[in-house]
Structure 1
Amino acid sequence: MPRSLRPRSIRARYTIAATVVSLVFLTTIGGVVGISVRNKVQARVYAETQRVAAEWISAMAYGDVSRTVPKSHVNLLQVVDVHGRIVGSSAAMSGKPPLSTLRPPVDDRIEHLTQCSSAGKCVLLTAIRLSPAEAGRLRLPDSPVVYAGMRQPPILATHRLELFLSAAIALIAALIAWTTWWAVGRTLRPVEAIRTRTAEITLSDLSLRLPQPPGDDEIAQLARTTNQTLVRLEAAVEQQRNFASVVSHELRNPVAGLHTQLEEALLYPGDVDAHDTIQAALSTTGRLQAIIDDLLALARLRTAVPEAPAPVNLGALVETEAAARVRGVPVRAHISGEVKVLGNELQLIRALNNLLVNAQRHAEAAVEITVERSDGQAVVTVTDDGDGIAPEDRELVFEPFVRLSDGHRRDPGGSGLGLPICRAIISAHCGTLRIEDSPRGARFVIRLPLIDGDRRATATGPCGSQTRNDAYGFVR
């Protein structure tokens, strides 16, 4: 069927399909029923004519051939000799020509046939060839033939049966079509409501929800899942808006300061020290560059296709990074043997470096970093002896651009993106980064799935239940 002629509505498609299938099925059934009825009626007529013919033969042995006609609706009876002469007949066939010229053979004395006249009127006949013994008892020469027949019943002579079956098929098919149209329409009614509401949902207003039909069928599950998706989408859009607002605010101050410095140098060249102005401008652009680099790092983590992971020896990695921290508060590393994970070595180095920089910034005298195995996981713990982080702020510090008051005091030029990048990297490695209780200072704990040889160990990491966006701190 050309695409332009196909019905666009699912309701119409299902109705047409159900109607076509039912018509094929009903037509087949109707044809079988019609043939069966015709054959059954015809068989009954032949059985009745054969019975009447046999009774007439028996009756003729005791009386006159022309008068021994049994009482029956099979009233067309004749006895025809070998020469075609009528030697006996019923009253209905008196003076009529022979019913048929067919003579059954000797080896098959009974035959059934349909004899039609030129006017189209047909008679169902049974022709019985008398045996020599029967002909002798009836004192009839040779082997005459007894014909017993009746006019073809209307059900066989007309097309009433076919018309009745056709009307019944059409009526049933129409009923099936209407039922299918009604049932599919009722089933798809919630879909139309969902479509209408979906058309009303825009990016500027994601608070609308789809109507959820009662029950737990596929449409109800679709509506429920879509509503859950809308909830997550609304949260994601809101998070993105907040993030854009925070980014704008964080970039506005350095840009405004840089603009003021350059404007002052341009307006008052004699009163401004060029070297100091350039130095201040470079410091400001350096902070802007750091913020932009961190934002690009987050964006790459969020959108880049993950590289094929490789085995990484966390113990050796931590030992190298700790040894490289020669400036600031000393870092002491404690490694419990070889601890291997699958991942990107450069990203893991960046995450460890960010944690160590953060710990050194807030520590008073020392930073401790340990690597060990625990319950099929690699556990890296970074602990400082500073003031610590309040429990209510422990998740807040992983939000982009969030900096606590102590952080502003210790590092005024920081971007507030170091810890979010750490969590994004660890989450991308199917691990977790959390702040746990510590007797003094802050205690950051990384948990990653271990590998034994070249096989990944079974671990209870967050990858099975965490989306990619969740891992990068933008959507929660």
Structure 2
Amino acid sequence: MELKISWPPRLRPRSIQWRYTLTVGVLFLIVLAVVGALVDLGIRSRVTADIVRDTRLAIVDWAAEMRPGHIPPPNPTPRADYLQLVDSAGQVVAASAAAAGKPPLTTLRPPPDDRVQDITACLREDKCMSVTALRLEEGVARLFWNGEPHYIYAGKVRPPGLTMHYLEVGIGAAVLIASTMAAWATWVVVGRTLRPVRAITSRMREATAGDLSLRVPTPPGDDEIAQLAHTSNTYLERLQQAVTAQRRFACMASHELRSPVAALHVQMEEALTYPDQSDARTTMQRALHTTERLQALIDELLAYTRVKDARPSAYQPLDLAALVREEIAIFSGGTPIRLHATCHPTVRGTQVQLASVVNNLLTNARRHAHSRVDVTVEHVDDQAVVTVQDDGAGIAPEDRERVFETFVRLREGRRLDPGGSGLGLAISRETSNAHGGSLTIEDCPKGTRFVLRLPLMGAQPQNRAPQTGPPAKDAMPLRDTRG
């Protein structure tokens, strides 16, 4: 059974070290007090039983030496300090040397049906004795004293430790000392245990949004505190990366938003400054085009943040091959798109977001392709793999990771789509990461090969010949984020 101590809210110590120390001290005090009380009772009972046994044996030895007409004085024995033979009138008939000339040890007169009784008699406050009173049998009384009842008293002085409660004082002192030592040991052990935690707390307080490069000290070993330190450092590292990415994103977003806002401001200012030289309709059309670009940029920024904050609880099973086929069907005319699907892997995700990723990859591939785009859907081990490959100029190996950063656009991308924002591939990678997958660019003999990997929910391979999608016509292009 687990014993818990519940401190009142007002009295509960705020420090874990104090709380554990007080709890252990109180528990030790309670447990040792109970053990001490049991020990005290056991010692007292054992000593009393030994004294009673000795006094009774002393009475038996003396009674065995008595003869009619001859009552010998009791021999000195360590079993009893005092021995007396008392008649029914309370007169001492015979006694040991120590009890000679003394009044009866007690006035107790055992009845015939309970001839042996034991009591404790105190001569003074610091001296008590255990007395055993024996009523001699009626046959002996008739033989020795014509039937007059006689009593034998045997007394033995109790140890001072029992009389003056020295035993209780000693046990109480031992309990207090042991409880104090246990509390002190707990204070030391918990203090040493929490020392790394204090260091972690102090370093975490020093870490601010202005300086997230601090790391907490890591204690040796692999216990819970060491794991806490490792986890805290990992958290600080991720927080630093997130804050750095957020600042960089905010800086780049403000830079991208500044251009259309500045252009709109210049157009409005020019129209107001030179009203006679400006055509109102032309100015409004330019302003409308600028606001459309600004709105598209804001929409993509919102889409990027929504993807980063998406929750997996809204995911549903999706047939990835069917989703890719539906997106290919949107395109018509222009560069043909060939689909090769050997299975129908099922993944969990948001259809709108995954469809946006596939659409973005197809749009970029068609924009940069020379003659065709090949799309493959398959499953490898426990992953569904979608490959989108064009036969264009390709992307240099050193730029393959840069194109997934926000607002990064290469020269070829700016040439083919001057109005792009550079967020499409960043959103696509964030979407794949949010779904537990990945989006990378792999080596290929010609062009660019985008590979989307998503964890399988349940794959159902179908032995079908590679399927080819219909050639597509021009469709409304997405913003180019390649390059």
TM-score between both structures, scaled by the size of structure 2: 0.84
Match of 1:264 among 248, 270, 274: 270
Structure 2 unaligned regions, length at least 5 = 1-6, 461-483
Structure 1 unaligned regions, length at least 5 = 455-476
Are the equivalent residues in 1 in contact too, given 2:126–2:160 (CA < 8 A)?
Answer: no
Give the drift of 1:233: 0.7
1:414 aligns with 2:420: yes
1:20 aligns with 2:26: yes
Structure 1: distance between partners of 2:47 and 2:395:
99
Matches within 5 A, 1:240-389: 240-306=246-312, 308-336=314-342, 338-389=344-395
Match of 1:47 among 53, 63, 68: 53
Pair 1:68–1:330, CA change in 2 (3 A):
closer
Structure 1: distance between partners of 2:402 and 2:40:
82
Structure 1: distance between partners of 2:230 and 2:455:
34
SS in 1 for 2:355: helix
Give the drift of 1:254: 2.5
SS in 2 for 1:123: strand
1:218 aligns with 2:224: yes
Structure 2: distance between partners of 1:67 and 1:210:
89
Give the drift of 1:307: 6.1
Structure 2: distance between partners of 1:202 and 1:119:
73
Q: Which residue does 2:408 correspond to in 1? A: 402
Are the equivalent residues in 1 in contact too, given 2:117–2:132 (CA < 8 A)?
Answer: yes
Are the equivalent residues in 2 in contact too, given 1:373–1:379 (CA < 8 A)?
Answer: yes
Pair 1:27–1:335, CA change in 2 (3 A):
closer
Structure 2: distance between partners of 1:178 and 1:316:
70
Pair 1:18–1:320, CA change in 2 (3 A):
closer
Are the equivalent residues in 2 in contact too, given 1:78–1:147 (CA < 8 A)?
Answer: yes
1:57 aligns with 2:63: yes
Are the equivalent residues in 2 in contact too, given 1:307–1:344 (CA < 8 A)?
Answer: no
SS in 1 for 2:98: helix
Give the drift of 1:2: 4.4
Q: Deviations over 1:373-411 (max 9, x none)?
A: 443543322111110112222222111111111111111
Please tell me the residue identity of whatever aligns with 1:356: L
Match of 1:96 among 83, 99, 102: 102
Structure 1: distance between partners of 2:129 and 2:332:
122
| More moved, 223-232 vs 376-385 | 376-385
Are the equivalent residues in 1 in contact too, given 2:127–2:160 (CA < 8 A)?
Answer: no
Are the equivalent residues in 2 in contact too, given 1:56–1:70 (CA < 8 A)?
Answer: no
Structure 1: distance between partners of 2:161 and 2:71:
33
Are the equivalent residues in 2 in contact too, given 1:111–1:126 (CA < 8 A)?
Answer: yes
Are the equivalent residues in 1 in contact too, given 2:321–2:341 (CA < 8 A)?
Answer: yes
Pair 1:426–1:178, CA change in 2 (3 A):
closer
SS in 2 for 1:93: coil
Q: Which residue does 1:461 correspond to in 2? A: none
Q: Which residue does 2:208 correspond to in 1? A: 202
Q: Deviations over 1:303-342 (max 9, x none)?
A: 2445643443443433343233225423333343645444
Structure 1: distance between partners of 2:343 and 2:38:
84
Are the equivalent residues in 1 in contact too, given 2:317–2:348 (CA < 8 A)?
Answer: yes
Are the equivalent residues in 2 in contact too, given 1:356–1:382 (CA < 8 A)?
Answer: yes
Q: Deviations over 1:234-265 (max 9, x none)?
A: 11111111111111222222222332233233
Are the equivalent residues in 1 in contact too, given 2:370–2:392 (CA < 8 A)?
Answer: yes
Q: Which residue does 2:481 correspond to in 1? A: none
Match of 1:151 among 154, 157, 172: 157
Q: Which residue does 1:474 correspond to in 2? A: none
Q: Which residue does 1:160 correspond to in 2? A: 166
Give the drift of 1:195: 2.0
| More moved, 214-223 vs 385-394 | 214-223
Pair 1:168–1:286, CA change in 2 (3 A):
same
Structure 1: distance between partners of 2:74 and 2:339:
129
SS in 2 for 1:333: strand
Q: Deviations over 1:8-30 (max 9, x none)?
A: 22222112111111111121121
Structure 2: distance between partners of 1:364 and 1:92:
130
Are the equivalent residues in 2 in contact too, given 1:384–1:442 (CA < 8 A)?
Answer: yes
| More moved, 387-396 vs 128-137 | 128-137
Give the drift of 1:371: 2.8
TM-score between both structures, scaled by the size of structure 1: 0.85
1:184 aligns with 2:186: no
Q: Deviations over 1:196-221 (max 9, x none)?
A: 22221110011111122233322222
Q: Deviations over 1:119-147 (max 9, x none)?
A: 8964322223334665678x443353222
SS in 1 for 2:10: helix
Are the equivalent residues in 2 in contact too, given 1:52–1:70 (CA < 8 A)?
Answer: no
Q: Which residue does 1:471 correspond to in 2? A: none
Q: Deviations over 1:38-89 (max 9, x none)?
A: 2222222222222222222233449953544334473422212345443222
Are the equivalent residues in 1 in contact too, given 2:387–2:452 (CA < 8 A)?
Answer: yes
Structure 2: distance between partners of 1:453 and 1:382:
20
Could you tell me the percent identity over the aligned residues? 51
Q: Which residue does 1:141 correspond to in 2? A: 146
Structure 1: distance between partners of 2:240 and 2:429:
23
Are the equivalent residues in 2 in contact too, given 1:81–1:141 (CA < 8 A)?
Answer: no
* RMSD of equivalent CA atoms: 2.9
Structure 2: distance between partners of 1:303 and 1:119:
84
1:434 aligns with 2:449: no
Aligned length: 453
Match of 2:35 among 25, 29, 35: 29
Please tell me the residue identity of whatever aligns with 2:244: E
